[in-house]
Chain A
Amino acid sequence: MSLLATASLWIIPCLILVVLAIATAKRLPTYELFVDGGKEGISLAISILPFLLGMLVSISILRASGALDALIGLITPVLSILGMPADIVPLALVRPISGTAALGMTTELIATHGPDSFIGRLASVLQGSTDTTFYVLTVYFGAVGIRKMGDALKVGLLADVIGIMASIIVVTIIFGA
């Protein structure tokens, strides 16, 4: 296993070790602090529930009806004319909306094209370098009761567009098409 793969296993335990070692050296009541800080996690998670549920239900209606696939089918030829690999278009369109759907698509692309193919690499980079904007906005704004999101959604989605373009360009340059 390579260094980074090992690092990703070691990082959380080591982080906990460092925090606890320093806090203990400073004679802080670590266990009491942990319990005290963790307490509000329960209410926070529950307070997000309605926001999450509303968003997931609406997205699932769009997906289950087949409307999302139809929409993707309409947009794919347009985007592939612009130079985007057709296989990757559905993933790029779904990535900001649904994290689970995007991960499913990435896994499928890697499984069918192989992890070391152009599409496999591109799917990996795209999945890794972007986030589910809808989820982040729903959860973060929901948790603190922000009703007017202002430009946040527009800015987030435009940033996703840049992330997708950057992924395609970077993968093409580093690995070749």
Chain B
Amino acid sequence: MVNYIWAIMAIGGIIYAMFTGTMDQVNKAIFKSADDAVVLAISLISVMVFWLGITKIAEAAGLLHALVRLAKPFISRLFPDIPKDHPAMGYILSNLTANFFGLGNAATPMGIKAMEEMKKLSNSPKASRSMITFLAVNTSSLTLIPTTVLAVRMKYESNSPTEIVSATLLASILSFIGAILIDRLFYEIRRRKERRA
């Protein structure tokens, strides 16, 4: 599916440009965005090195473990395929916690570590059940402090930059619950299909 979406975005854009005379912009955009991707990946290095370093210390100090113990009843129900004391749990929780507090750049390295640990568990090039659940809850991003939005609101002199915090939290709780339900629904559909096959 990703292959199709990826190709169709490019094919659609190029064909559209043929008829609307925007080939010049397309031409520039190809190499501009390739440049942007490199800059983005390089700037990810600083974030990754820093947060993976801090996470390593937190892990050694037993802080990740403490976090897992705190959220165990909830998290083990959400990820039934991951053994309770597996390191993946610690990373998943740190990722969700980082998102919750608006630390977007800390969330990515921890999310990738979580994916690595889940890959060790499934040992397959296919997305496992836990990975799909993780991505569903991750992209619905439960948020208490929407850092970037607060900055934009302050810049444009809102009377109350933080008035949207409760609404954001509520909306993200709803989409979090929605994501979990959709994920379960798709899991059940997959299981039915497999049973029939």
**A interface residue numbers (CB < 8 A to B):** 2-5, 7-8, 11-12, 15-16, 19-20, 22-23, 26, 28, 30, 33-42, 44-46, 48-49, 52-68, 70, 96, 103, 106-107, 110-111, 114-116, 120-121, 124-133, 136-137, 139-141, 143-156, 158-160, 162-163, 166-167, 170-171, 174-175
A151/B175 in contact, CB under 8 A:
no
A149/B1 in contact, CB under 8 A:
yes
A144 to B64, CA, bound (A): 21
Q: Which of A46, A55, A159 has the most CB of B within 10 A?
A: A159
B side interface size, CB within 8 A: 105
A152/B135 in contact, CB under 8 A:
yes
B171/A129 in contact, CB under 8 A:
yes
- A65 with B13, Cβ < 8 A, contacts A11-B145, A153-B1, A166-B175 known: yes
Q: Is the interface of B mostly helix, strand, loop or mixed?
A: helix
Chain B residues contacting A167 (CB-CB under 8 Å) are: 167, 171
Q: Is the interface of A mostly helix, strand, loop or mixed?
A: helix
Q: Which of B17, B49, B187 has the most CB of A within 10 A?
A: B49
Chain A residues contacting B163 (CB-CB under 8 Å) are: 116, 121
Minimum C-beta distance from A125 to chain B (A): 5
Chain A to chain B contacts (Cβ below 8 Å), 24 pairs: A8-B102, A22-B61, A33-B57, A37-B59, A45-B41, A57-B10, A60-B29, A64-B29, A65-B17, A65-B22, A110-B152, A120-B153, A124-B146, A127-B146, A128-B146, A129-B141, A130-B139, A131-B138, A143-B115, A150-B126, A162-B174, A167-B171, A170-B171, A174-B170
B156/A41 in contact, CB under 8 A:
no
